Amino acid sequence: MSKTKVAIIGSGNIGTDLMIKILRTSDSLEMSIFVGIDPESDGLARAKRMGVKVTHKGIKELIEMPEWEDIKIVFDATSAKAHLYNWDFVKKYPDKMMIDLTPAAVGPYLVPPVNFDSNIDVKNVNMVTCGGQATIPIVAAVNQVAKVHYGEIVASIASKSAGPGTRANIDEFTETTASAIEKVGGAERGKAIIILNPAEPPMVMRDTVLTLSEQGDREAIRQSIHMMVAEVQKYVPGYDLHQEVQFEDISEENPVFIEGLGFRHGLKTMVLLKVLGAGHYLPEYAGNLDIMTSAALATGERLVRIN
């Protein structure tokens, strides 16, 4: 079977890790061009050593290269602002699709085990954020059993795993993740918090998911969560529950106040997750970056199989 040619824009940690994943693990995607703007970046140097053609002159140079004609998928691993610039060029080519790993959210949010099927014909899909990829499947799993009024996630990542791009996009991270908790996870209201933990040695990514839903069958919710974890593990083997699912009744006599919703009662569900990276390019503790590149790779490969 011939492979589909792809390009990656962004030669930082996320772009480089995605490139290595494609080279080492993909049986359907082929690296064509690796694009950056810093000729001295480690990512571009590594790509050259691995036999991948590169350019340090950005999107303008990419579309002028002869390989551009055969490229079908463009992964964008730059920044939210840069993605808007890149998309202005790529959208002019109807035969190409963009998978956006920034918080720009130009296209619809996509979390592979939750809403892939509803986005197969879209030309620009957004992979939300690392926190979103880790936690929205859990919110959706609860919502499949009992309507979720409120979903809150706290993503704790090692400070060392947050590069310049991540740090520059903190505001977009919280806004994009909160929006996707609602639009993809199904919550009426979403909130997202990110914590950069400076602990040494660096900590593995940890995520806390809290939902307030209608009352529902607790065992059914637990099973739904475990089934969703198994789905994510198909492309992120290091994704797992840190503790068993916990429940708490919020009685009608003692409701909680949720901004934008007012007082609500129901079933509180708490899920604690950990994400260990595959260690392809980044340290294993950088599960926050690994889950983004793994989700993007899984999306690209599924699109190829369908089309």
Is 130 an active-site residue?
yes
DSSP 95-148: T-EEEE-STT--S-B--HHHHGGGGTT-SEEE---HHHHHHHHHHHHHHTTS-E
Contact 275, 288 (CB under 8 A): yes
Token pair 């002159």: residue: 57
User: What would the DSSP string read from start to end of 16-71?
Assistant: HHHHHHHHHH-SSEEEEEEE-S-TT-HHHHHHHHTT-EEESSHHHHHHHSGGGGGE
- The token pair that represents 63 in the structure block: 């579309």
Structure tokens at 259: 């901004």
Domain 4-127+290-306 and domain 130-285, same fold? Reply is: no
What does the DSSP 8-state code read for residue 202?
P
- Contact between 153 and 140 under an 8 Å Cβ cutoff? The reply is no
Distance, CA of 63 to chain centre: 26
User: Six-digit token pair at 271?
Assistant: 């899920």
What is the rounded average pLDDT of the residues 67-75?
98
pLDDT band at 304 (very low <50, low <70, confident <90, very high): very high
Q: Which fold has domain 130-285?
A: Dihydrodipicolinate Reductase; domain 2 (3.30.360)
- The pLDDT assigned to 166 comes to 77
pLDDT at residue 118, as a whole number:
92
Q: Give CA–CA dist 271/53, Å, rounded.
A: 43
Cα distances (angstroms) measured from residue 249 to each of 143, 214, 268: 16, 10, 6
Given a contact cutoff of 8 angstroms between Cβ atoms, the answer to whether 135 and 194 are in contact is: no
Rounded to two decimals, the pTM is 0.95
Gyration radius (Cα) of the chain, Å: 19
Which of 24-28, 33-37, 184-188, 303-307 has the weakest average pLDDT? 303-307
Provide the CA 88 distance to its chain's centre, in angstroms: 22
Tens of pLDDT along 193-247?
999 999 999 999 999 999 999 999 999 999 999 999 999 999 999 999 999 999 9
Task: Determine the pLDDT at residue 162.
Answer: 85
- How does strand 189-197 pair with strand 71-76? unpaired
User: Is residue 1 pLDDT above 70, yes or no?
Assistant: no
pLDDT single digits (tens) 259-294 = 999 999 999 999 999 999 999 999 999 999 999 999
CA distance 34 to 270: 41
Q: Span 4-127+290-306: which CATH code?
A: 3.40.50.720
3 state SS of 228: helix
The one catalytic residue among 22, 35, 82, 130: 130
Task: Give me the chain's average pLDDT, please.
Answer: 96
Domain ranges of the chain: 4-127+290-306, 130-285
